[in-house]
Each structure stands twice: as C-alpha cells, then as structure tokens.
Amino acid sequence: MASQSDHKATIIDGKAIAQTIRSEIAVEVRNLSQKYDKVPGLAVVIVGSRKDSQSYVSMKRKACAEVGITSVDVDLPENVSQDDLIAKVHKLNVNPDVHGILVQLPLPRHINEEKVLSEISIEKDVDGFHPLNIGKLAMKGREPLFLPCTPKGCLELLSRSGISITGKKVVVVGRSNIVGLPVALLLLQANATVTVVHSHTLDPESIIRQADIIIAAAGHAMMVKGGWIKPGAAIIDVGTNAIDDSRKKSGYRLVGDVDFQEACQVA
C-alpha cells in the first residue's frame, strides 16, 4: 500500500498487477511454443504439508496453468531423506521437458537446504537460490542467471505502482535467504538506503518508523503495527502466516506480517 498527502491509504492492487504480468507471460509462452515447438515446463517440488508452503505451491501451479506452462508436480512426504530428495532433483535436471525447477522452502530440519539447492542445475534454477546465482547477486557488476522470485516481485510491484526506490530509506523486516537477504541486495542495486530489521534488532519500531518503504518478510503474523509506520510510507507485505479461525472451513486463515487494518489508517 502507499498513500497520498492526506494520509488516506491507497491500496496497491497486487492481484491486478499479477494478472497483467501473467497475461504478458502467456503471450511469451505462446511465442516460444510456436517458434521452438516446445512447451515450457516447470517442476515444483514440495516436501511436507506446511500450510504456508502448500498455499504458495498451489498458487504457483495455478499460475502455470493460466499462462500455458506445463507444471510438473513433485510432492514428497515430510520424512523423505535428503538423498532421495537430491535424487529427484537430479532426475529433473536431466529431464528435457523440465526447463525450470523450484524447490519450495523452507525444507524440514533434517534436510540441508544449501546442499539441495546447490544440486539444481544452474540453468534451471529459476528461483535464483543456487549458490552461484546468489553469489553473483551479492557482487557489483555480476549478473545472476535468475533472480529470486519473491524479491524480484517486490521491486516489480513498486515499479508498476510508480513508487521510486532511488534514494529512499527502505527497511526490510526479516533476513531470510528466501526474501529478506536477496531483496535487501536488490534494493541496494536500485540505489535505496537499506536497513534490515531482524530478531536481534533493538527497538525495531523506531527504525521501521523512519522508512519511506517497508518490505515485511519476517514470518510473524501482524507484527508491524500502524503506530510503527510513517504516514505516507509504501508497504509491501509478503508475509504469509496461518492463524486459527474457526469460521473458516480449513480452520485457519492467512495473514501478513503487517496489521493491515491499522496500516490502512496510516500508510
């Protein structure tokens, strides 16, 4: 969300922007298919049954269907061994019908994420988490083959909403390898002044209140309150947290890292 000078919240319509992007991608997919007589294939690998991960994977597979990409579904149990997971990745690496591989994170604790991600063919690492891609992202003048999807999406939302990043004070809430760290690197490349707030940050409220732009990616339900936000700040909330809700058929609902109702009164 962003705001005007009267502090009335302007909601960034992420769904509308996403639909526009999907329409653009669908055209590219059709053109590729006609030119090469080949339909792009994306393998999405999920381990276990975390509610947030299941939600993300469901959306990814639905998006594939919308734009004409073949979704190769790989669903593995929580107790799958690291060796078996890596063996699945190796099979996808050599599958000519699979052009991109996404391993949904986080993985169960008994699995070394870095080891698994490093086994993905760098040419198919469309999530941008292979150590070589992340390493290039961290170095000036180097171009990774792929950028991490959610961080890239945050910057795309800001750009398509007409929100300038250059010179702005941006606070990233969270420092995960999935969102916080890579989005901070991308923001630095976009000439923002970046501060990262994390679990050991003293007085995060006062730091967040200075931000022109807030990227919330801590994985803590509604932790950022309205009183923490500077009037007029732009907020991108990528948090997805399941909280109990007996009114829902599923027994839970998904909320972000920002208290949406409070933020709407300020940002």
Residues that are catalytic: 60, 104, 127
Long-range Cβ pairs for the range 240-248 (8 Å, 24+): 240/52, 240/55, 240/56, 241/52, 242/51, 242/52
Q: In the structure encoding, which two tokens stand for residue 173, read together?
A: 């809430």
Q: How far is residue 110's CA from residue 87's CA, in Å, rounded to a whole number?
A: 16
Q: How far is residue 27's CA from residue 34's CA, in Å, rounded to a whole number?
A: 11
Residue closest to 60 by CA, chosen among 45, 47, 49: 45
Q: What is the dihedral of CA 182, 188, 42, 38, to 10 degrees?
A: -160
Residue closest to 210 by CA, chosen among 173, 170, 243, 174: 170
Q: In the structure encoding, which two tokens stand for residue 254, read together?
A: 């998904």
Q: Name the H helices within 113-179.
A: 113-118, 131-137, 149-160
C-beta of residue 235 within 8 angstroms of C-beta of residue 216: yes
Q: How far is residue 175's CA from residue 95's CA, in Å, rounded to a whole number?
A: 34
